[in-house]
């Protein structure tokens, strides 16, 4: 999994210099698609993670190793896999937009940049809350079973943040004032949240499930 996420990150960086520049209209359409898709993914992922939280709460009333527990754990795994699929899909979309778009936004279009960052921030926060709840409320044997899915979700969130930040700052371009202070603040928030998920120095969640 670590190789997978590292490879994606490396691909995104190398492609920035090799990809052709999109036409302005194509670029605007692609950016609008990113905004809309991230907003949709936020809603879907939030619902899926809320389901995980409920299922984990239900596990407290089951006996270790019984049929109900095994079924519930399997449902948690499937739900986390759905989250992985959503995050992986939007990651590919954002990477493609970053590597093919260099057109800064202007005017009212800029108002969507903070919304994009807020949506990604909400995803990261929800992942953090959910994974923290799983780690703190399931038995050791259940946690071992769920570790692969949990690690991949955390890694995908972390990998998503870098191109989103790159896209947001690129879209703002050389603009000053307006939404720029809010964008700058949100970039710091998103990067700080993502770093807190994985950094072993700050007791990141990933360190608790390795």
CA atoms of 122 and 210, how far apart (whole Å) = 25
| pTM summary value | 0.83
Nearest to 196 by CA among 158, 143, 163: 158
pLDDT class of 123 with cuts at 50, 70, 90: very high
Given a contact cutoff of 8 angstroms between Cβ atoms, the answer to whether 128 and 194 are in contact is: no
Who has greater pLDDT, 209 or 72?
72
Q: Which of 42, 68, 48 is nearest to 122 (CA)?
A: 42
pLDDT digits over 162-193, tens only? 999 999 998 888 777 889 999 999 999 999 99
Confidence label for 105 from pLDDT (cuts 50, 70 and 90): confident
DSSP string, 148-172: HHHHHHHHHHHHHHHHHHHHHHHHH
Return the H-helix or E-strand segment holding 147: helix 140-172
CB atoms within 10 A of CB 134: 25
Q: Which of these ranges, 73-82, 100-109, 137-146, has the smallest mean pLDDT?
A: 100-109
H-type helices in 101-139, by residue range?
Answer: 112-137
> Which has the higher per-residue pLDDT, 165 or 197?
165
pLDDT 10s digits, 4-54 = 344 344 434 444 333 444 455 556 788 889 999 999 999 999 999 999 999
Cβ 176 vs Cβ 107: under 8 Å: no
């Amino acid at each position: 999994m670590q190789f997978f996420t590292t490879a994606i990150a490396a691909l995104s960086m190398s492609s920035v210099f090799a990809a052709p520049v999109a036409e302005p209209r194509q670029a605007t359409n692609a950016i609008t698609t990113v905004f809309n898709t991230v907003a949709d993914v936020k809603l879907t992922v939030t619902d899926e993670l809320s389901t995980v939280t409920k299922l984990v709460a239900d596990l407290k009333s089951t006996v270790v190793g019984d049929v109900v527990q095994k079924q519930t754990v399997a449902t948690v795994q499937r739900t986390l896999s759905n989250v992985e699929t959503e995050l992986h899909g939007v990651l590919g979309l954002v990477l493609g937009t970053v590597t093919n778009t260099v057109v800064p936004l202007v005017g009212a279009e800029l108002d969507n940049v903070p919304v994009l960052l807020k949506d990604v921030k909400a995803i990261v926060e929800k992942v953090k809350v959910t994974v923290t709840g799983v780690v703190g409320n399931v038995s050791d044997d259940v946690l071992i079973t769920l570790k692969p899915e949990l690690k991949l979700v955390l890694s995908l969130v972390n990998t998503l943040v870098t191109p989103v930040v790159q896209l947001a700052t690129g879209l703002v371009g050389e603009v000053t004032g307006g939404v720029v202070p809010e964008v700058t603040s949100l970039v710091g928030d998103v990067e700080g949240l993502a770093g807190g998920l994985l950094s072993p120095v700050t007791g990141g969640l990933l360190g608790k499930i390795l």
